[in-house]
Structure 1
């Protein structure tokens, strides 16, 4: 059966995601959906609103047929490696014929042309990127500006005026760059985002709201019924159950004590060995501690934030402190070699058929549990540790939950 791949976080699954999924099936002519989904920590360096198992149930109830976990080593990265990890997993299944992502414009051709020009990172592009970084520009903006300038130099007037700096355009470009570098066989598609922009905090439609706006309402203490118009009934029921059991909503403030402990018991030299901590950020972390007014994440960010360090950069750095992610595990060579496994979080009856097919087509081992894998995977160890760390911050979790990765089999719907 023809299958489309989606790269998602579903934090939580909402009506906009449902629209994207249905449109992806329509424009690709697919009959089944494989989703690569981030686990308990997400790309912007944040804990998920609710655990990955619950979000898997949301995904399956919303129309996905097979959910594969994007390892934390890729799920918490900037666009380049986030995209590379996700696309490589979809390719590794051997059963995904196309992949579809949302963009602000819904236009694929400018992104394809830019990906073709930039995938090998020629020296002229590197020069343009370096020039922008040297002005103090944040990396995402510098990269987008360099892409636009480089495509202009290459005579592609249409691509050079394209808004690469919009968040979903940036991510989509990196999906296509990863696809080219992997010599992928999947066919790429994109659809335009509807009604709500990425990371939009306000709600301007009666049915569609961004995941950011939905989470904002929950963290502000509003009733769950306040988000009912914007999520499927299945998402609402799952969230209601988690809230009742004190398993949601989860945010950075749930991890402040272990985070501060990690900072207070480390030297600048030790912090400097962690992923995402460089260029003096380790010193700034330690210097910020005496100035904290409250034990809250926003208070800590207020001490740390500068023009040089974006909120997302700081969140990823602090997540490395919380999870103990060493630079040595995140070198370009190691990330380029891929996760090495396909961790299955859940499936439907169609997903079961895909799994059966993957026994013949997958280029990586397929894992239904983290217990006794056929070989040792360094990134799988990071996944299980991250899951345990996440559950330590969940008020309703217990000691048994810390080892769910080793005990639980995939969710079946």
Structure 2
């Protein structure tokens, strides 16, 4: 059985994701689609709008055969770390290809870009330092350095101002640098841009636009045309049980408490909290009545919204620098769900997997997996305190079977 891998968050699963899965399977001639999915906290430092179990069901009902969890260590990391964890897991579970969505839509410009930055690595790093010294953010410095190198390049390269192109490049970079056998392919992103609002004349919208509509309207009707029926029903199920969807505002009272219960020195122990910001975090937490107000006070040229969100994610979950960087490689494959086809794949190939397959977490002492369990517990606590109702946690929940 030939397997193609996809790296996903499904926050929530929408029609664009359905297109991506179906095209990935068709173009790779795969028998099985394996999704490595972030758990409860995501790459931009956000809590997922619904829990990982609902999102796993969405994936399995719409073309994925296996869903495995991207550990918290990687799912909340910058693009390089996120990509390394995801691609290593897809390699470990036996995928021959990985398919990512991109604005570029063809693979050769990605390979040309990798070659350009590899050949001119010293010059590229020197340019990054120059731009950082001007006071602009690190992501902006990366982009400006790349554009300067790109000016003299003859072959076609990608636009690294586009978010899906950026992640796609990092997937390829991870696979090449780690000498993995898994081969890349890309699926053109269609209709909706990454940050665009929903367009009622289309059936495709970005997850960002869908989330914005949900939170602004407090109703699912406006997004019904943009998600598969199964996803809509699972979103409705969540709303019926817990009244509202999860965002940082949901957790704000508890995040505020987590910040203010620590001294400035203690805050610097948490992952991604850089020296100097700890005083500003405390000052802003004391003054702010909402998460948005808190973030608006902190955001600057040096500290982007995403970078700040990653900091506060680790403060909220209580995860330190030492814990987050304990290992640079995944140490297990955590199974969240499977179809009958996925189960057949596991039965045939699991002895060949490069990492142990974990379906239940009751007897684990793996430090990386313990962080996942803690993240789930803190997500569940926030939902429970906000809604008065409990959600499934790791110790109680076996893999979903469809």
Correspondence 1:375-394 to 2 at 5 A: 376-394=365-383
Q: TM-score normalized by structure 2?
A: 0.94
1:225-270, Cα deviation, whole Å (9 max, x unpaired): 2211111000011111110001641111111122111111111111
Is contact 2:112–2:155 with CA below 8 Å preserved after alignment? no
In the alignment of these two chains, the number of paired residues is: 400
Q: Which residue of 2 aligns with 1:323?
A: 317
| Structure 1 counterpart of 2:335, from 340, 344, 354 | 344
SS of equivalent residue, structure 1 residue 409: coil
Deviation at 1:290, TM superposition (A): 3.7
Q: Which residue of 2 aligns with 1:367?
A: 358
Q: Which residue of 2 aligns with 1:411?
A: 400
1:194-233, Cα deviation, whole Å (9 max, x unpaired): 0101122342642011111111111113421221111100
Q: List gaps (5 residues or longer) in structure 2.
A: none
Correspondence 1:22-61 to 2 at 5 A: 22-61=22-61
Q: Which residue of 2 aligns with 1:158?
A: 155
Q: 2 CA distance for matches of 1:17 and 1:139? A: 30
Single out whichever of 111-120 and 41-50 deviates more from structure 2.
Answer: 111-120
Distance 1:3 1:247, change over 3 A: farther
Q: Which residue of 1 aligns with 2:257?
A: 261
Distance 1:253 1:121, change over 3 A: farther
| Structure 2 counterpart of 1:314, from 298, 303, 308 | 308
Correspondence 1:390-401 to 2 at 5 A: 390-394=379-383, 395-396=386-387, 398=389, 401=391
Is contact 2:16–2:205 with CA below 8 Å preserved after alignment? yes
1:108-164, Cα deviation, whole Å (9 max, x unpaired): 212112223445983322212211222222222222333343455xx633356x311
Distance 1:306 1:62, change over 3 A: same
Q: Which residue of 1 aligns with 2:180?
A: 184
Q: List gaps (5 residues or longer) in structure 1.
A: none
Is contact 1:43–1:76 with CA below 8 Å preserved after alignment? yes
Moved over 3 A (4+): 116-122, 147-152, 395-399
Distance 1:182 1:85, change over 3 A: same
Q: 1 CA distance for matches of 2:132 and 2:165? A: 20
Single out whichever of 320-329 and 4-13 deviates more from structure 2.
Answer: 320-329
SS of equivalent residue, structure 2 residue 33: strand
Is contact 1:32–1:65 with CA below 8 Å preserved after alignment? yes
1:320-363, Cα deviation, whole Å (9 max, x unpaired): 110112111233xx443x12000000000111012123322111
Is contact 2:218–2:244 with CA below 8 Å preserved after alignment? no
Q: TM-score normalized by structure 1?
A: 0.92
Aligned Cα root-mean-square deviation (Å): 1.9
Is contact 1:81–1:335 with CA below 8 Å preserved after alignment? no
Q: 2 CA distance for matches of 1:355 and 1:397? A: 38
Q: 2 CA distance for matches of 1:313 and 1:246? A: 29
Distance 1:120 1:300, change over 3 A: farther
Deviation at 1:380, TM superposition (A): 0.5
Q: 2 CA distance for matches of 1:118 and 1:372? A: 44
Q: Which residue of 1 aligns with 2:98?
A: 99
